[in-house]
Structure 1
Amino acid sequence: MRTPASDRTAAALEPVRGELLRAAHAEAGALLARADEEAAALLKEARAEALAIVESARRQGEAEGAAVGRSVLVRARRTARARELTARREAYEELRLRAVDRVRALRHSAGYPSLLDRLTCRARHLLGPDAQVTEHPAGGVVAHAPGCRVDCTLDALAARALDRLGTAAEALWER
């Protein structure tokens, strides 16, 4: 349920989100460029190996050589896909780490006390005015009420922002 407080929190974090997305996009692009280069080189090697195998196999029998060539190409494609997925996972992990670092840096900004007040108000809004709200060492607040807990730490905010990106985060490393 969207509230004015959540809208203000989202608006306050919009410049951070924009910067995170820009930085993540650039970083993801660089990582994917390297992954693409590695994949292209691997495919080039695999294709060259496949052609050599096919030529040799043709002398032994066209059918056998074609099967071996297909097998090598399938392995090369699987290897290239595995490397691409690894690069994507690493890019997302780097994005996550950078997002957390950038959001944690808010603790040292002039607007942090105001953000802390807004997070405290948000936690009390969610759990009630009697909620016990404490500042978290890494930034933000954690609130407790009987049987309930609200995590408004900076790390949790960064994680939720990335979660809200959903499949849009994948666009950072799409071609």
Structure 2
Amino acid sequence: MTAALPAPADPLGPVRAALLRAAREEADRLRADARRDAAAVLAAAHAQAGALLREARRQGEAEGSRAAAAAVARARRTSRNDLLEAKARVRDALRRRVAEQVRQCRNEPTWAAARDRLVRRVRLALGADATVSEHPEGGVVGTAPGRTVDLSLDAMAARALDRAGAEIESLWET
């Protein structure tokens, strides 16, 4: 029997092994580079997202502040208008009530004498030739060329309230 001859060695085996080793090393290097690139892209994306979020928050806060300031200003204007309207209604009601009360003096026994004094005051202010007429709500109105004196009860009550303006305003101040 003859001994078997050893199998011929693959002459390209070492070259193949070296190429395979080089390919694996290159693949490992490419994977490592890809991981580094991906990490850098992710870090940049996170940084950009954080910057965008901070800017959006800043803009939102600024817009919120502007909107809140505008809402407060509108509320103050509305409140002020409501207050002024309420004061005007109270003032008008007071004027009507005072005028009604002053007109009651026509029912007093002394009304004729008071009316005569009003006529004398008109004539003193406008002269003896002044035309004096009764006002429908009480009191008198005098006229002379280019001039008028209103001593109606309503006009006198309104003037008295106007003179007491600050005191009347204090009625609703707290």
Q: TM-score, normalised by structure 1?
A: 0.59
What is the CA-CA distance between 1:139 and the residue it aligns to?
A: 0.5
Partner of 2:67: 68
What is the CA-CA distance between 1:59 and the residue it aligns to?
A: 10
Equivalent AA in structure 2 for residue 155 of structure 1 = D
What are the Cα deviations for residues 40-79 of structure 1, in whole angstroms up to 9, with x where unaligned?
A: xxxxxxxxxxxxxxxxx97984333222222222221221
Q: 8 Å contact 1:58–1:65 — kept in the other structure?
A: no
What is the CA-CA distance between 1:161 and the residue it aligns to?
A: 0.8
Equivalent AA in structure 1 for residue 164 of structure 2 = L
Partner of 2:137: 138
Partner of 2:160: 161
Equivalent AA in structure 1 for residue 168 of structure 2 = A
What is the CA-CA distance between 1:122 and the residue it aligns to?
A: 0.7
Bigger share in helix: 1
Q: 8 Å contact 1:132–1:143 — kept in the other structure?
A: yes
Identity over the aligned pairs, expressed in percent?
A: 50
Partner of 2:94: 95
Q: Secondary structure at the match of 1:162?
A: helix
Between the aligned partners of 1:126 and 1:100, the Cα distance in structure 2 is 24
Q: Secondary structure at the match of 2:151?
A: strand
If asked which structure has higher relative contact order (CA below 8 Å, sep 6+), I would say 1
Residues 116 and 62 of structure 1: is their aligned pair in 2 closer, same or farther, counting only changes over 3 Å?
Answer: same
CA RMSD of aligned residues (A): 2.3
What are the Cα deviations for residues 151-172 of structure 1, in whole angstroms up to 9, with x where unaligned?
A: 1111111111122123333222
What is the CA-CA distance between 1:126 and the residue it aligns to?
A: 0.9
What is the CA-CA distance between 1:92 and the residue it aligns to?
A: 1.1
Equivalent AA in structure 2 for residue 169 of structure 1 = I
Between the aligned partners of 1:67 and 1:159, the Cα distance in structure 2 is 45
Partner of 1:122: 121
What are the Cα deviations for residues 66-113 of structure 1, in whole angstroms up to 9, with x where unaligned?
A: 222222222212211111111111111111111211111211122211
1:7-156 equivalences in 2 (<5 Å): 61-156=60-155
Between the aligned partners of 1:58 and 1:159, the Cα distance in structure 2 is 59
Q: Which runs of 5+ in 1 are unaligned?
A: 1-56
Residues 132 and 70 of structure 1: is their aligned pair in 2 closer, same or farther, counting only changes over 3 Å?
Answer: closer
Between the aligned partners of 1:152 and 1:78, the Cα distance in structure 2 is 39
Q: 8 Å contact 1:104–1:139 — kept in the other structure?
A: yes
Q: Which runs of 5+ in 2 are unaligned?
A: 1-55
Aligned length: 119
Between the aligned partners of 1:158 and 1:123, the Cα distance in structure 2 is 17
Residues 63 and 109 of structure 1: is their aligned pair in 2 closer, same or farther, counting only changes over 3 Å?
Answer: same
